[in-house]
A = this chain, B = another copy of it.
Amino acid sequence: MFHKFGNMKIALAQINTIIGAISHNREKIVKFAKEAADKDAQIVIFPELAICGYPPTDQLYFDLLEEELQILIDQTQDLPITIVVGTITEQPQGKPYNSLVIFRQGKILHRYHKVLLPDYDIFDENRYFAPGTPQKPVEINGRIFGLTICEDIWITDPDLKGIYDLNPLESIKDVDLVINISGSPFSIGHPARRLNVITETARLTNSPVAYVNHVGAQTDLIFDGRSCIVYPDGTVESIAPAFEESLIIAELKGSGSFPPFVGEPWIEDIYDALVIGIRDFFGKLGLKHAYVGLSGGIDSSVVCALAVEALGKESVTGVLMPSEFTSQESIDDALQLAENLGIKTLNLPITEPFHSIVKVLQDRAWKDKPFDVTEENIQSRIRMIYLHALSNKLGGVVLNTSNKSELATGYGTLYGDMSGALGVLGDVYKTWVYRLARVINQRLNKAIPERVLTKPPSAELRPNQTDQDTLPPYDVLDAVLIRYIEMHETATQIAKATGIDLSVINNIINMVNRNEYKRYQAPPILRVTSKAFGIGRRMPIVGRFETAFK
């Protein structure tokens, strides 16, 4: 049915926008449209809300995007190409629409408004938009298009079954091309799930689908791109690279055999996601330098290596902050890592300030109380003071090294090692951090010393401490955390599924619940799973969690 597209060139413009930076985004759109026209594409497709950036946040309350769209239309009026772009459409009353606009040489040809507004995890689109109503396919320059925006095709996803009443695909059948413009962030498993949704859409509509996604990081959210064209028989072609801005020119063919889509191994996907996450955070904010506190442990080693990969070795300083509890091994491992990565280091001992602070407290606030978590937190917080003093005095920001297992259980010091401008590993479980370290050592020439990967993890805040004094073994811990946090299973369900002792599970769930207050004040966290801590997970600080234990 889509033979009419023979020799038609479609450009998929997978761009990296900045939220609210309308002029910047528009310049990029014009540039990509020009390049697409130069390459003889007849139509160029940009992602959802490409003009204002996605997610738009409460800035939408200020926006007057109709004007901004008009400027874009004016600026592209000499280009011999049809442009498809996501923007908002104001309504005289009530909320605006999340729209797809098609224009060519100064003239708007069509508008489509998103029908299905997602409201789960990190999505809150009912906050900003009114839903559109399903549209019949439209004819543009003699060709028939089915139009959709992101969630509109997720009606085909088995996990979302039943949550929407309307089906935007209902009247789309045998068209020349289904267009879907998206803002679909990366998480593990999501690219495969998403491809399944696109394939189902192609099959159900019996039409090829051109899918165009955002790429790049918006603070915590990382968009992997992976724009592509999918045919009704399931063949996939013209896949844009993951985590890279790019313009793909696709020639729509009748049918044929194309190379199968091969997903990246998931741990390498996490590596790429975290690197672009760091790079975009620094690049979009104009930041030049990162400080990483190096303990000689696995988390700080991995963060430091990722920062070097993202920013270059000149832009990273490793900061050793030893105490009387720091082992020589740890110092050696940290220095070896820095040498392997080629970064400068600083050595700022915390011993004197620690004793100075403890003395004031012992003289004036308490006497003869045993060493406990108080003194552990004081050490961690002096390190925070050092790191952020470097940031203040010398410029740049501090990267946070807390992993997801620690954040989940509250195994970390608020305002201490939980501080930082960006949480690099906050959505990566401890057992995954080790796997990530292996990937780093493959890619970065064994940068992380082998001993870091094999010694028992320790916070070194008191003599002979190890993480397992406080926490269950990490494989047990992570197995429970994934089921509790990501799969919303109750204690009983987890016990049944894993065979882990119910008391261990209850203890873990209690730790998670008790520490909502700490996570509330954690840095933004690069999201790589389907349920990261942050805006996508909303739990009360004051509350109980009775049903979690059922």
Contact = CB atoms under 8 A, between A and B. Distances in A.
B386 A357 contact: yes
Contact of A547 (B64, B92, B124, B281): B64
A227 B393 CA distance: 54
Contacts of A18: 542-544
Contact of A61 (B58, B386, B488, B544): B488
> How many copies are assembled?
2
Nearest to A321: B360
A520 interface: yes
B540 A218 contact: yes
A269 to B, nearest CB: 21
A120 to B, nearest CB: 6
B381 A385 contact: yes
Interface string A515-533: 0010011111000000000
Contact of A415 (B161, B386, B415): B415
A9 to B, nearest CB: 33
B163 A544 contact: no
Interface residues of A, number: 97
Nearest to A517: B421
A545 B59 contact: yes
A542 B219 contact: yes
A392 interface: yes
A357 B353 contact: yes
Contact of A361 (B20, B22, B130, B386): B386
A349 B360 contact: yes
Nearest to A352: B356
A71 interface: no
A166 interface: no
A62 B546 CA distance: 9
Interface string A149-174: 00000000000011110000000000
A381 B349 CA distance: 17
A389 interface: yes
Contacts of A377: 385, 388-389, 392
Nearest to A381: B385
Which 8 A/B pairs are nearest by Cβ-Cβ distance? A93-B162, A19-B543, A94-B162, A374-B392, A21-B544, A126-B126, A119-B126, A62-B547
